[in-house]
Amino acid sequence: MAHTLLQFDFPFTGPWGGEMATAMEGLATDIAAEPGLVWKVWTENAAEGRAGGIYVFDSPEAAAAYKEKHTARLAEFGITDIRAMTFDVNPALSQITRAPL
Amino acid sequence: MAHTLLQFDFPFTGPWGGEMATAMEGLATDIAAEPGLVWKVWTENAAEGRAGGIYVFDSPEAAAAYKEKHTARLAEFGITDIRAMTFDVNPALSQITRAPL
């Protein structure tokens, strides 16, 4: 299986940490059921006012569909200046560095 | 354990895919032994001329030390315009979306 990595980050004003987890538990449950999603790491940097996520999908098509959907959803939350980038995963090098794929 | 995520991406002109894996196997073996590294996913986008990596470390200190080391190493390779960002991982939300931590 070819994996596609999607990285999102954007300006964010909180909530952070445990409060973020409470506020976004429903969203996370929804994202967990996203077609083709292998996993997502949720990222946050309160000091720099930035948050995002690192996603692995099982196909480029699934990643592209999610990228469009999530960008639109973030815009509905009033979040702009979104940086979303898609990459192929290099499987041989990632295996050497214990990447969980 | 608190996890710290480090994302790197930068302009890259290849090699890609299998040739990249051959060229960088030694570097990957070295990175696999980096103090505090949990895992790294190697990323590449030939169409956009960009590559990078997503790292999880077991402490902010380990991530900061690697960020400095790897930025200097990339500069030695002639790579500039490096984007390196550090984030805390939100463990509760990441667990819901099956993040391998």
- Judged by a CB distance cut-off of 8 A, whether residue A37 touches chain B is yes
Question: Has residue B24 been placed in a domain?
Answer: yes
- Please check whether residue A66 lies inside any domain of the structure: yes
Report the domain count for chain B: 1
Q: Rounded to whole angstroms, how far apart are CA atoms B60 and B87?
A: 9
In a domain, A49, yes or no: yes
Instruction: Grade residue B46 by pLDDT with cuts at 50, 70 and 90.
Output: very high
pLDDT, chain A, mean: 97
| B38: containing domain | 4-96
Distances from the Cα of B9 to the Cα of A31, A65, B53, B64, angstroms: 25, 22, 7, 16
State the pLDDT confidence band at A69, using cuts at 50, 70 and 90: very high
Closest residue of B to A23, CA-based? B93
ipTM of the complex: 0.96
Overall average pLDDT of the B65-82 stretch: 96
Calpha distance A46→A48 (Å, rounded)? 5
CB-based contact, A81 to chain B, within 8 Å: no
Q: Which residue of B has its CA nearest to A91?
A: B42
A52 and chain B: CB distance < 8 Å anywhere? yes
Q: Is residue A11 part of a domain?
A: yes
pLDDT in tens, A11-53: 999 999 999 999 999 999 999 999 999 999 999 999 999 999 9
Residue B21 lies in a domain: yes
B101 is a domain residue? no
Is A100 a member of any domain? no
Q: Which residues of B touch A51 (CB under 8 A)?
A: 87
**CA distance to partner chain B, nearest, from residue A51 (Å):** 8
Q: Can you tell me the mean pLDDT for B27-45?
A: 98
Query: How far away is chain B from the Cα of A23, in angstroms, using its nearest Cα?
Result: 10
A4 pLDDT more than 90: yes
Residue B61 resides in a domain = yes
Q: What is the DSSP letter of A51?
A: E
Q: What is the CATH number of the domain that holds B68?
A: 3.30.70.100
